[in-house]
Amino acid sequence: MALTNDGSTFSLRIGKWIFDVFLNFRGEDARHSFLRLLYAALVEKKISTFKDDEVLERGKPIPSELLKAIEGSRFSVVIFSKNYASSSWCLDELTKIVECRQKMKGHTIFPVFFDVEPTEVRKQEGSFGEAFAKHEEAFKENLEKVKKWRDALKEVTNISGWVIPKGQESEYIEPIVERIFKTLSSIKLNEGLVGIESRVWEVYSELKIGSTDVRMFGIYGTGGIGKTTIARVVYDSFSNQFEASSFLHDVRETYERQGLVHLQKKLLSDTLMERNINVGDEYDGLQFIKHRLCNKKVLLVLDDVNKLKQLKFLVGEHSWYGAGSRIIITTRDQHLLEAHAVDAIYRPEEMSNEEALRLFSLTCFGSEHTPEGYKEMSNLVVSYGHGLPLAIKVLGSHLVGGSITAWKSCLVGLENNFPTELLQVFQISFDSLHEVDKETFLHMACFFNGEDRDRTVRILDSLRLYPIEIVLRELIDKSLLNLSLDKNCYWMHPLVQQMGREMVCRECPEWPSRRSRLWLPEDIDALLTDNMGTDAIKCIVLNLPVQKKVYWHPEAFSKIPNLQLLKIHNVQLQHELTHFPNGLRFVEWSGYSLKSLPPNFVPYKLVELTMCHSNIELLWKGVKQLDSLRFIKLSHSRNLVRTPDFSETRELERIDFEGCTNLIEVHPSVGVLKRLIFLNLKDCTSLVSLPSKLEMESLEIFTLSGCSKVKKIPEFTKNMERLRELHVNGTAIVDLPSSIEHLTSLSLLNISHCKNLVHLPCAILQLELLRDFIVLGCSRLATFDDHESFPARKRSIWLWVEEFFKGSCRRVKSKLS
């Protein structure tokens, strides 16, 4: 989707582009290095890319096919290099690209400065200056053409891009492709919208893009009216007219979960196109934005703002931005916009009946045309949506595939129970869910909106919400849940989330202690401090942005016997805890400040225990029968001295003790865990005692990296055929056991920086699947104990070795066959 404006008319351009990306480059500079990598990465992402490989004779005009390719491309990636300006063909292409950017509001340019500085291109100095001197001589009869080339260079170099030193090409491919992919995905997401043109036109008129003043513009209205959609289309259509841009989605939720600093870093990273930006605190971020963007023409969108503080630290004043900048703010609170003194405010109107019917038909029937027999009832259903796009989509999804009889039944229900409030529109979809779907929906609304997909699935699975993938798919089909474009997280529209949380609050409006789920810090703190728990509570999730001291009652959890999910972050306990509910299925407590778990805690239903950065010294004493336990993660718990006896936790699949620097001993029972897949002891620098033998038939990854006091690794039994990766780098081992021959699936072996390692067993040569064998910094390593057999190998593996034994530190890469 793109916006076109010839000065007298305005229309939303919806149509198929020929290509996603057009590559403009100087062949002899970039074709065989950077360009090859970039093109391959774009193709791998399924991004349609035009790359002209023909070499045009000097002085020949650009073929019409190339001009059509430029016009038919959403984006142009312009790769400036040392000899770029010497090519009149490159400059003609660039002029056409700039013309498309000016006349076709959907055409976006991404500049790349490969082995050349932007100032050299902008000011036409160095090789660019030399090239233009020749052009002025060659085209002295047509200097207007040279002037167009110069103007085009200046315009494109004012757009934020990537500066890539020669030799570092591969490091920049991923961020470039990711930026293009995300921009392309958001544009495609906007296609096929109903009734958007008139609303975007009203915003466009008020923005006055092209004037040099800085304007702040607010969009406000009820949830589900389309504020975010309108802002997104404007952003996608016009961001190419600015030097830099950023769209901060769902500021309210991100602020609550991750704080202002995270939002400031996202804004700066987007506009400056830099990664790993260091922002100390929110005041530091304020100054950073103010001083780094004051000379840039930027387009910023802050979506779903709900606090004046967010505007103060993210938007600030007009003087923070360069001439021509535009800042768009969406919110449900008109007062915030007035208090921040924005230049104009727009409230979107509800959809007309005709627009609503088209949207409903598109959602319900997959076409804007309503089938015969459904028109009358469709009009009735649409009237209940009161012009709110989100409500209409939810109703449409609810009725997909229904018969006439089912529709009539639904309409009767609507007439009896459905008032004007949008909340009850969502109640209809919620009531149609099975019980397990309802539980999952409420979990997503209260705790996991926008969280990592795999992590969310694992947590919900631990709560026995089976089959969870099918349940989540059902919620997506009901328009109650969405999967992100990169498929890495599930997310809910804020209005849907609000509805879910409201339903939990309605369980007991007056007393949070009698609700099934708690997520508000003030509710949780009061309940646990005053010891007011009840058996109604099933889940508690407390994510504080900064660490806080709490004075919870020692027996606070004793009154919450049905608690299944406990997730705590940034809490510093001031009292011991005497109880944990034994029915817990999932525990994640980052920074747990006590030395041990309550002594009477026997979590027979517990599936996952995660306590990173804790003060735990010993998980439990003796043997505990924990038949459900699958995952244990205590990484960076620096007081942990010994692992417990795992004899009766036979279902364990993952153990992660990375960074437990005081861990001395791993209990021998670990060595016989038949279902364990992953064992991570990385950087346990005090570790000296390991099981003498490993009989772990399911183990796939075993990491001892950085365990500098480990002198001997365990023997491997014949049943360890699934181990794929073995990391013993940085240990004090003298040799590897000959039983390594039993690791027949081993594909990666890392023994680098084992400074005491003297020789290697020839059994390594029998590992048919070994592909990555890393041997760096093994200063005492002489050879294999049976090196004569080495040349006889019948396969290839890559071996990295520092040839200390030859008196050379030169790193070699040799292929052995």
Q: State the catalytic residues.
A: 93
Q: Which two tokens stand for residue 598?
A: 């309550």
Phi, psi of 717 (to 5 degrees): -90, 170
Element (H, E) at 364: helix 353-365
| Contact between residue 703 and residue 683 where contact means Cβ atoms under 8 Å apart | no
Strand partners, 299: 245, 326
- How far is residue 52's CA from residue 701's CA, in Å, rounded to a whole number? 45
Q: Where are the alpha helices (DSSP H) in 191-332?
A: 196-207, 227-238, 251-272, 282-292, 308-314
Terminal-to-terminal C-alpha distance of the chain: 54
- How far is residue 431's CA from residue 440's CA, in Å, rounded to a whole number? 13
For the four alpha carbons of 438, 442, 445 and 447, in that order, the dihedral sign comes to negative
Q: Where are the alpha helices (DSSP H) in 565-692?
A: none
Q: Can you tell me which residue has the tokens 């969502």?
A: 426
Contacts of residue 141, defined as CB under 8 A and 6 or more positions apart, other chains included, come to: none
DSSP label at residue 358: H
* Best CA proximity match to 153, nearest among 181, 125, 124: 124
| Contact between residue 20 and residue 84 where contact means Cβ atoms under 8 Å apart | no
Name residue 493's amino acid: H
- How far is residue 439's CA from residue 785's CA, in Å, rounded to a whole number? 61
Q: Which two tokens stand for residue 269?
A: 């990273």
- How far is residue 660's CA from residue 647's CA, in Å, rounded to a whole number? 21
Return the axis-axis angle of helices 169-190 and 227-238, rounded to nearest 10°: 130
- How far is residue 328's CA from residue 299's CA, in Å, rounded to a whole number? 8
Radius of gyration in angstroms for the set of CA atoms belonging to the chain, rounded to a whole number = 31
Spacing of C-alpha 24 from chain mean position? 30
Element (H, E) at 304: strand 298-305
- How far is residue 70's CA from residue 541's CA, in Å, rounded to a whole number? 52
| Contact between residue 361 and residue 369 where contact means Cβ atoms under 8 Å apart | yes
Q: Can you tell me which residue has the tokens 């181990």?
A: 723
| Contact between residue 150 and residue 85 where contact means Cβ atoms under 8 Å apart | no
* Best CA proximity match to 81, nearest among 42, 139, 38: 38
Pairing of strands 565-573, 539-550: parallel
- How far is residue 149's CA from residue 158's CA, in Å, rounded to a whole number? 15
- How far is residue 158's CA from residue 151's CA, in Å, rounded to a whole number? 11
Phi, psi of 91 (to 5 degrees): -70, -35
Spacing of C-alpha 530 from chain mean position? 38
- How far is residue 20's CA from residue 2's CA, in Å, rounded to a whole number? 13
- How far is residue 45's CA from residue 224's CA, in Å, rounded to a whole number? 32
> Can you tell me whether residue 733 is helix, strand or coil?
coil
